Structure 1
Amino acid sequence: MPIPVIDLADAREPGAPGSAAAARILRTAATDSGFFYVRHHGVPDEMIGRQFKLARRLLDLPATTRQRLSIRHSPIMRGFEGLGEQTLDAAARPDLKESFYCGMVYPADHPYVKAGYQTYGPNQWPEEIPEAPAVCEAYIQAMLALSRRLMNLLALSLDLPESYFDATSESPMITLRMIRYPPHPADADERTFGAGAHTDWGALTILAQDQHGGLEVQTPGGQWIEATPMPGTFVVNLGDMIPRWTNGLYHSNPHRVRNHYSSGAPRYSIPFFYEPDYFARIEAVPGTVAPGEMPRFAACTAGEHLREMYRKTYATA
């Protein structure tokens, strides 16, 4: 089954006439691979292009700058990550990618910041690019609005009120990541990937990818298919919180990356990770557990879930 496309032209606002149709397509995608494209999403092309330009500038900074601002110096893992510092698939070699992480800005007196919860706290910015904080914050706010709208449609797809998940988004956990994948080595073995097979940890991932391609999605039947770049779209996938929230009805499927672009150029991608409020309760929503049956997953908070995922893939987390 190909990855479906959801057109948001008539479904951008609560109660919009195209909302029901968009929710039906989302349900089809969610019960299959958990991946779909969105078009007419309302995020300007100029904003996306500006973010890719910033990604290139950040990842072209000198090694000394990137090491000084490494995520290893940040308790909430903000800053630069070098090649091979993450291994998403424990059976594969370290990932062939490097990246820069930042997140939503919360005031220093916010209780979650004061408590030191994961993803809440200061970013690390290079002095060489003074406009970087403003560019990233604008993009984060645009993507947060889109994420909240997609959560509305997710609720509709489950026959729940459109506003069902709104209360879980009061102080969301937000991570923006800009990634560069070097060309795939010609002599690489079958255990070498730009990003090893993995599922994402949170609720939604909204991905802007360049024209090079390389993202592969595993279908429920075990086949790997390409998420080919489509102009004017984002690729969206459901993270591991969604199966918990839907008692396994909706899927969070594995995906991986290999940069096989023929020119030997690097591949850039910009994933935006939306997670709900740290204390949002992740448990089966109404209508997903049959009478007399027990939920398939133990209830937890979003923060508990995300903390465990970091521990699994980062030695210092």
Structure 2
Amino acid sequence: MMIPIIDLQDALTLGEPRSAQVAREMRAAAMASGFFYVRHHGVDAAQVDAQFALARELLDLPLAARERLAMHLSPSMRGFELMGAQTLDQEARPDLKESFYCGMAYAPDHPYVQAGYQTYGHNQWPAEVPRAPAQCEAYIQAMLGLSRRLMQLMALSLGLPETWFDPTSDSPMVTLRMICYPAHPEGADDRTFGAGAHTDWGAITILAQDSHGGLEVQTPEGHWVPATPIPGCFVVNLGDMIPRWTNGLYHSNPHRVRNLHSGGAPRYSIPFFYEPDYLARIEAVPGTVPDGEVPRYAPCTAGEHLVEMYRRSYALKPHGEEATA
């Protein structure tokens, strides 16, 4: 399987001339592995390079500084994830990676912040890196704009109006994650990964990766193929909300990370996870359920789905129990 490259030239705004062609290419990729590259995506290379520089600076902070801002101390799951804190593949060892999480800066009086919905709320910023909040917010806005456009093209690929998904993006749940993977240990067993095999939880993931590679995608036939870094391109993959929205027509395929090709250097990657509004209804869109059949997935809200995924991956207690510990 080759991961296709989709060129977004002349398709970055509503009604542009190549939008229909791009939508057809997205449909083919979504019905195969759910993975594709995008080029001419409208995000300046200098902004991406600056974000990698920030990632290195954040994840090079002393351990004590990172422990003070550990994500488990944040109700909105923001801050530093320490080595081994997450196990994406329950059959594998804890993941060999460290990361920093942040999200959109919603105001304290936003109703979702007031309600205590997960992923809405404060970020934790290290005082040692004062430029981090503004720089991350700018990168989030660039990724959010691209995510919304990809959702419009996805709507078009399903035979729906381009703006079909727009109402689900009023107050989106978005997560920016900067990750450092150490070199893969010598003599590691086959249960050791930088990130174990998993599917992403949300709608769309947009990944910037450094030149070392290490991301591997499982084909529909069960083989693992590398998602080799391509200069100027992001890797895009569909998350688990998309099969729910398309009644299984579009796929969210497993992927994993092993830092095998860096010559002993750490690997950095920057995934941006786009999830719609917490209360957005995730159910089969028109045209995806054959006549006389019932949908393959039970309807849910985006928030219900995402909270359950966090609980499974981080062994979190049900909402409300944390306060009693």
Q: 1:10 Cα shift?
A: 1.0
Matches of 2:59 and 2:283, distance apart in 1: 39
Secondary structure of the 1:6 match is strand
- What RMSD over aligned residues (CA atoms) do the two structures have, in Å? 0.6
**Which residue matches 2:79?**
79
- Percent of pairs with identical residues: 74
Structure 2 counterparts to residues 79-98 of structure 1, below 5 A: 79-98=79-98
Q: Structure 1: which amino acid aligns with 2:96?
A: L
Does 2:204 match 1:165? no
Secondary structure of the 1:130 match is coil
Structure 2 counterparts to residues 293-308 of structure 1, below 5 A: 293-308=293-308
Matches of 2:291 and 2:22, distance apart in 1: 29
Q: Structure 2: which amino acid aligns with 1:153?
A: L
Call closer, same or farther: CA 1:262–1:49 in 2, change over 3 Å: closer
| Residues paired across the two proteins, number | 317
**Which residue matches 1:257?**
257
Structure 2 counterparts to residues 20-99 of structure 1, below 5 A: 20-99=20-99
**Which residue matches 1:12?**
12
Could you list the structure 1 runs, at least 4 aligned residues long, displaced by more than 4 angstroms after superposition.
Answer: none
Secondary structure of the 2:202 match is coil
Does 2:203 match 1:178? no
Structure 2 counterparts to residues 75-154 of structure 1, below 5 A: 75-154=75-154
Matches of 1:230 and 1:282, distance apart in 2: 33
Task: Write out per-residue CA displacement over residues 77-101 of structure 1, whole angstroms, 9 at most, x where no aligned residue.
Answer: 1000111000000000000000000
Q: TM-score, normalised by structure 1?
A: 0.99
Structure 2 counterparts to residues 224-263 of structure 1, below 5 A: 224-263=224-263
**Which residue matches 1:284?**
284
Matches of 1:13 and 1:42, distance apart in 2: 11
Q: Which runs of 5+ in 2 are unaligned?
A: 318-325
Q: Structure 2: which amino acid aligns with 1:146?
A: L
Matches of 1:24 and 1:7, distance apart in 2: 12
Q: Which runs of 5+ in 1 are unaligned?
A: none
Secondary structure of the 2:177 match is strand
Secondary structure of the 2:237 match is strand
Q: 1:15 Cα shift?
A: 0.2
Q: 1:291 Cα shift?
A: 0.8
Matches of 2:310 and 2:150, distance apart in 1: 25
Secondary structure of the 2:260 match is coil
Q: 1:316 Cα shift?
A: 3.0
Matches of 2:53 and 2:22, distance apart in 1: 32
Task: Write out per-residue CA displacement over residues 28-50 of structure 1, whole angstroms, 9 at most, x where no aligned residue.
Answer: 10000000000000000010000
Matches of 1:216 and 1:9, distance apart in 2: 27
Call closer, same or farther: CA 1:73–1:262 in 2, change over 3 Å: closer
Does 2:217 match 1:217? yes
Q: Structure 2: which amino acid aligns with 1:104?
A: M
Matches of 1:299 and 1:119, distance apart in 2: 21
Task: Write out per-residue CA displacement over residues 183-223 of structure 1, whole angstroms, 9 at most, x where no aligned residue.
Answer: 00011000000000000000000000000000000011101
